[in-house]
Amino acid sequence: MQILQEVQDLPSAGNIKAQWVSLWTGPAVGAVLVVALLAFPGFWPPMSPTLTAEQVARYYAEHTDWIRFSQITFNLCGIMLLPFFMVIVVQMKRMKTQSHIFAYCYLTAIVSGATIFALSNVFFLVAAFRPDRNPELTLLLNDLAWIVFIAPIGMVLAQFLLLAAAVHFDDGPDPVFPRWVGAYSLATGVAITPAAGAAVWQTGPLAWDGLLSFWLRNGAFAAFVVVMFFVLRRAVLRQAVAEGVVAG
């Protein structure tokens, strides 16, 4: 994206630049998070909720370093996805036929959702901090870590529903996002909802290592980030052209 010389000092250009940088933090941070994801032994395969306290304690003792590395990376970089999501907030505020209330709700939902993710990292790290802790305590910490990681999908669900609602209400002549984004967002929200069951079931697809709660939930979320990168890229470019910041 090449900003035109004559407008490069204007606030509108600054706005586009800031959005562009925030947008690209998505893939940049995403790449780091993928590395951490592959490095976390607890995901390959996902740790079973049915492990006993001794098995969990042994797991943490055997894989301490990789658990620490990956969770520290998650904690450090997970929140760095916030700027990427803020581009969605900014674009929601550009929707013409609305009061923009959804954008502010979206912002709050993102903040709370990210905080919950950070909390799960802390639980994993505390569990890994003293591998010789009483196994019952390690089991408790591991339970808390997994339940907090997988089950509280409400904030994330709100994000998807809000985006779908915003797109639905943005039915004017020049919508910010294509209509299918709303349906896709809604579908992603539906896909992650069953994960709430991870706080109850120890086996089956709803358990935290199950098909729905682990694979579908995390896969759908990751896919959403990837898809939205391209959607946002187009939206920011269109905004840049419309505001005369970039040659159309």
Partner 1 sequence: MNLLTPERYITTTDGDPAGKPDVRFLTWFFPVWYAVFGVIICVLTRVTPPPRPDVTTAGTVAFFTEHHLTIQIGFVLLLILLGGAPLTNGLVLYHMKRMSVGSVFGYGYIAAMSVGALPGFLLVGVCYLTATFRPDRDPELIGWLYDLGNLSYNGSLGCFTTAYVVLAIAVLYDKNGVFPKWFGYVTVWQVITEVIATQFFLFYSGPLAWNGVLSLWWAVVVFSVWLGALIFVLRAATIGEPVDSPGLD
Q: How far apart are the first and last CA of the chain?
A: 11
Q: Which amino acid is at 14?
A: G
Cα 116 to Cα 84: distance, rounded to the nearest angstrom: 18
Per-residue interface string for the shown chain with partner 1, residues 51-90, x marking contact by CB under 8 A? ----------------------------------------
User: CB of residue 88 vs partner 1: minimum separation in angstroms?
Assistant: 14
User: CB of residue 30 vs partner 1: minimum separation in angstroms?
Assistant: 23
Stretch that binds partner 1, among 32-40, 74-82, 103-111, 231-239 (CB under 8 A): 103-111
Residue labelled with tokens 């349906």: 183
Burial of 241 (0-12, 13-18, 19+ CB in 10 A): middle
Per-residue interface string for the shown chain with partner 1, residues 34-53, x marking contact by CB under 8 A? ---------------x----
User: CB of residue 196 vs partner 1: minimum separation in angstroms?
Assistant: 4
> Quick check: 100 binds partner 1 (CB under 8 A)?
yes
Residues that bind partner 1 (CB under 8 A): 49, 93, 96, 98-109, 111-112, 115-116, 119, 136-137, 139-140, 143-144, 147-148, 151-159, 161-162, 165-166, 169, 193, 196-197, 199-200, 202
